[in-house]
Every structure is written in structure tokens, then in C-alpha cells.
Amino acid sequence: MRKVQFYGAVSMDGYLATTDERLDWLFQTEGAEEAPTEAFMAQVDTAIMGRHTYEYTMAQTTDQLINPYNPDTQSIVMTTKPHAGDDHTTFTNAELPALVKQLRQASGKNIWIVGGAGVLMPLLTADLIDDLYIQIAPVFLGDGISLFNHADYQRRFKLAATNQYGQLAEVHYTR
């Protein structure tokens, strides 16, 4: 069965981005380029994200690929206004946990959860996240786009590994 994995970075106070969606605080973190992003992305072939994450990523990339290490990665973009995609991108308003359950049963590599609470929290609540790879940059943003938001549940994960890449700390938790 395919694993469902979150992989992303946050500030020390738990933000993915500033309120105006900037990530310069992460890119200015010494060692961020040492993180094993390529190895992680090579083992996924499906990426699920919200529309804001998709649009930001497309605006920042010249190759228009969510996963440059596996160009055949299928992107599934969760949006309230689905529209036609292309060979590699599907825009949908499907019920996220049901969609992920279906994808887990299909053949393929692992599934990457990209972005923030809008996609991550319904999957945590439904107990569908197998791995969390959270990289922590040594910066407090004070405000921004949060990785986690309020939910009515409790989940315990097991610490699988900790790694340091320059000034970036990475924790890997498994279900």
C-alpha cells in the first residue's frame, strides 16, 4: 500500500509562510539546500495540495513541475472551483479523505501532501497520514500561514529520526 507523507518546512512558531505568502525566511536558512528533498521526491508520484500552494509553486518555477525529480508526478489540486487540468494536473473538489483512501489502494509510489492545514488537517483527522517530515527553520515569524489548525482529535506519532542540515532541523514522525 502506498504511504501518505507530509514533507515541508515551518518556522519555529509553526508557520509555513508569511501572511503575504513569502518563503524568503526559509530560503535564507543556511543548510536548507542540504535537506534530502531530491531523495524524498524521487519516491513519490502523486502530490496533493490546495489551490494556493499550486498557484504559488507554478509562479515560482520555470519548468512548471511540482516535482522536478519525478516529472511524471500527478498533481491533485483541491479547490472549490474545479476546472480542466492537463496530463499531470487534476483540479477537484472531491472529499479529500475518500480520495486519499482510493489513491492508497491504487498502484504507484508514495503520495506527497504539499502545503498547509487545508489539506493536511482533514487527513490527520481521518488518520490517513503515515509520515510527517517537518523541517524547522530557526526563525520566529510571529504570524503567517499555519501548518496546523484547531481540530477535535488526538493523534500520537512515533519519532523515527531527527536530522540537521546546517541550521535546519528535520523531524520524521511515523504513524
User: What is the distance between the alpha carbons of residues 102 and 105, in angstroms, rounded to a whole number?
Assistant: 5
User: Any idea what DSSP says for residue 12?
Assistant: T
Q: ∠ at Cα 81 (116, 129), nearest 5°?
A: 30
Q: ∠ at Cα 139 (133, 140), nearest 5°?
A: 105
> Rounded to the nearest 5°, which phi and psi values hold at 123?
-80, -35
Largest CA distance in the chain: 42
pLDDT of residue 64: 63
pLDDT of residue 34: 87
Give per-residue pLDDT as tens, 90-128.
999 999 999 999 999 999 999 999 988 999 999 999 999
pLDDT of residue 62: 65
Q: Which residues of the chain fall below pLDDT 70? A: 62-65
